Structure 1
Amino acid sequence: MKTVIKSVYLVTALSLSTMTTYADTTSTPTTPTNTNPSTTSPSPSTNTNNAATPGAQGDYQCQRADASNNTSASTLSITKGKDTYTFEWDDSNGDPILYGTGVMVGSLPNAISVSFWDPKKPDAIGVEVFELKSDGSLQGNWTLQSDNKLGSETCTKTK
């Protein structure tokens, strides 16, 4: 069990550092190039919240495809805690099939990095990065630690 928990932490840490590195290499400087103090206007504050993008919390209907294009449908419930989000994917009977914990990436305000696991298979651990779209839907790419293949997921907000 300790190995599984260490794996979850490792996968999460690696995914977050990847997101941070990506954000650092794609951001543009916001400081003015004019260094004359008499003509320099104050820099506008940077707001990490995109007002046009709704929050991630809520219920979704999802379609998931693995690397072989095998598809499955599920519902996803996202609840917001203080600094994290809790994810629960359920099958058509309402039984949990995956649990996850996610964080918003500060420098990428429309990205949520999630580590997830299967409660019936403790060694099935993965990561997913969702993009929160302006219409409230989620578009994600995921992988399991055990197979290094990329899957995709699209979720439409239901409430």
Structure 2
Amino acid sequence: MQCTMYSIPTAAIQEGGIAPTPTAFPQSLEERHSLLSSPSPKSKEPLMDAGTSSLSAAPGSGQGIREPLLLKNKSPRWHDQLQCWCLNFRGRVTVASVKNFQLVASVKPSHNVSLAEQEKVILQFGKIGKDIFTMDYRYPLSAFQAFAICLSSFDTKPACE
């Protein structure tokens, strides 16, 4: 699974980084567009330039464009005793399922994000019983964003892809 969080800049996961917080609900499509392309109160730079296809400028580069946060599946590790690939859910997930996943930030080396920060699980979702799942999330995701991502996992059939 991969998620592109246009509302959260990659800089949010860097030390001291912040995720922009909307202060009002947009009433129209024009307002939504202006929220994406105009500066937030805490930042003098727009989140992204609607006319730009490449979001490659580094945060604070002065070009006024920040890359969206990319989330990807955490790579599993080989478990010698079980002879399979496993993810460590730290006891929170108890039933094996193709729906189980952990998402971490996918960042370019140019962002100077530590390896430890890149390995931190931002969202994990997994099965704990028949038709019962658990979801854990952390900053910079909101509960709404995390829940929406988890719901989207029910719309796919990994074994058929």
> Structure 2-normalised TM-score?
0.26
Structure number with the higher helix fraction is: 2
Structure of greater relative contact order (alpha carbons < 8 Å, 6+ residues apart): 1
> Structure 1-normalised TM-score?
0.26
